Structure formats: structure tokens, C-alpha cells
Structure 1
């Protein structure tokens, strides 16, 4: 009798999980039957080009997917496929401090990435969208000394946004 009671408690839960796809404890929902993913190199077509940005962004996206899913990576045509380009890389002042000659107190590095995501299992979840993130830094700090750290932080934010859009439907 106790086994029957446990079965009645578990049965509805199993139907819910089975009917809604594969869930992970990272907040993502991967389409049932999705087993592979491919991520193409994101070409840097921004007017201001940082030579390492294309590779570092692509690797950050792969790392995010690798850490939060059990999908296997293949070179092309995965069940989930990411491709795109880096379309903007800008440094601009965001706050001005007064004085005889006004100068920037804070600067902002922003990066924009155009992403085309194709879900071969559930095509209605595919998208083609731009994602932009930024990080502010003090104008008294030389940009060259903080640039790589800023890029790493922005890549983390961008890959989180892209992952959430593709797998968490945010």
C-alpha cells in the first residue's frame, strides 16, 4: 500500500516534467530531444576592432553553454545553432565633471552583438536579435589597463542574456 501511495505522488510530477521538456537546475529549459549545439565564430565587424574580442566572446558563449547544459558540441548544424557578429564596440563619456575645462568623470565601454539562434527541434524558439551590454569605468584609470577586464565582464553579461533568451525563454 505504501508503494502505491508513493507511485500516486510521483506520477503527476513525472508527467509534468516529461511534458515540458528537459529542465536543468540552472534555470534553463532545453527542448526535448535536443542533444547537440554548434557555435560559429562571431566575426568582429565593429568600426573599432579589438583583435581578441571575436575569439574571447565566442569562447565565453561556448563556456556558458558547456557549464549550464549537457549538450554536445559539434562544428556545424547542431540541434541548437548560434552564429552572429560583433557589431559595435564603443567607449564614450557618461558623466562630466565641471571646471574650467569640462572633462569626463566616467566612461562607458559598450559592446553590441547580433545573434542568430536556430532551434532545429522547436523552430518557433529561434531568434535573430541584438544584445548590448556596457560597463562604466573611471576616466582617471587608463583604458588600456582595464580594457580586458571590462571585456570579460561584458562578455559574461552578454552570454547570460543570450543563454537566457535561447534556453530560458526570457
Structure 2
């Protein structure tokens, strides 16, 4: 009886093959995230550093890939191309009732083992906030929301292939 149970467990384990709960489909062992320079018309200090770190951290936390400074098998590079605040809706007094912060990033992705996976793509996302607030008051939350969405989209396009 013990042999049957053991045989059943082994057959289920091996028949399913390796599986990742994050959906990562890569045989790479290392990745490299080059500094995303801020080339937006409006430069927000520290935005480039914070975005680069957010992308590094997401990949590090959702994969077993090792972060390296040079010679990574997967290379992420690009620049921040958009940082814009625009009014979204108006009040009866013709003033903005809500503002939208939009951040855009241009990504170049290289897979040194398979150049068919290389691509360049633009990503952007936004955060809406009430007109009575200044950007400084919502900046931490806004960056977190925007970075989470953009980095997850990058992750899905480069590693999860969703």
C-alpha cells in the first residue's frame, strides 16, 4: 500500500513538471536593470532612481533570478519619457475638480540567449487626485500605484508572457 501511495505521489509530481505560481517562463538565471534616466520634459527629482529600484525589486521578489550589475542574461533598460499633471474634470466655477498624474516609460528588453524575445515598448499609467491637494501630498501613494502597474506590465510582457 505504501508503494502505491509513493508511486502515485511521484507520478503526479513529475508529470506536472516545473510550475511557477507567478507564471514565469524563462530558463535565465540572471537579470540586469540599467538605470532608467528621466528624460521627461518635467523632471521630478528621484523619480528615475525610484522607478529603477521598483523594477529591480518586483523581478527579485517574483522570480528566482539573480540581480547582476553587468552581463545579465535578461537586460532591462530605457528612460522615463513622460511626467505630466493635467486637470481631469471641471467644477461649475471652471476650475479643476480632479488632477491626473501620468508617468510614461520607454523600455528596451534584451534576452541575450534568444534575440527573438528582444523588444522595445512604451508603458504608462496614471493616478487621479483631488484638486485641493498638492502633488507633494499624494506623491508617495501616486508613485507606488503607478510603478506597481507599469512594473507588473513589464514583468508580464518579459517573463510571464501573458
Verify the 8 A CA contact 1:39 1:76 in the aligned structure 2. Answer: no
Verify the 8 A CA contact 1:81 1:117 in the aligned structure 2. Answer: yes
State the 1:9 CA deviation.
4.2
Q: Which runs of 5+ in 1 are unaligned?
A: 18-22
CA distance in 1, matches of 2:60, 2:149: 16
Secondary structure of 1:29's counterpart equals coil
With over 3 angstroms needed to count, the CA separation of the structure-2 counterparts of 1:53 and 1:7, relative to structure 1, is closer
Verify the 8 A CA contact 2:88 2:99 in the aligned structure 1. Answer: yes
Please point out which of 7, 24, 30 is paired with 1:29. Answer: 24
State the 1:98 CA deviation.
1.3
CA distance in 1, matches of 2:136, 2:11: 62
Pairwise CA RMSD of aligned residues? 1.7
With over 3 angstroms needed to count, the CA separation of the structure-2 counterparts of 1:168 and 1:5, relative to structure 1, is closer
State the 1:143 CA deviation.
2.1
Deviation track 1:60-118 (CA, whole Å, cap 9, x = no partner) reads: 0011011101111111231111000000000001111113xx01101000000000111
CA distance in 2, matches of 1:7, 1:142: 59
Please point out which of 100, 114, 136 is paired with 1:108. Answer: 100
State the 1:121 CA deviation.
2.8
Verify the 8 A CA contact 2:81 2:106 in the aligned structure 1. Answer: yes
Please point out which of 64, 69, 76 is paired with 2:70. Answer: 76
State the 1:4 CA deviation.
4.7
With over 3 angstroms needed to count, the CA separation of the structure-2 counterparts of 1:125 and 1:135, relative to structure 1, is same
Higher mean alpha-carbon deviation, 140-149 vs 74-83, is at 140-149
CA distance in 1, matches of 2:12, 2:136: 59
Number of residue pairs aligned between Structure 1 and Structure 2: 159
Q: Establish whether residue 166 from structure 1 lines up as the match of residue 158 from structure 2.
A: yes
Deviation track 1:16-47 (CA, whole Å, cap 9, x = no partner) reads: x4xxxxx422x232312x10000000000000
Q: Which runs of 5+ in 2 are unaligned?
A: none
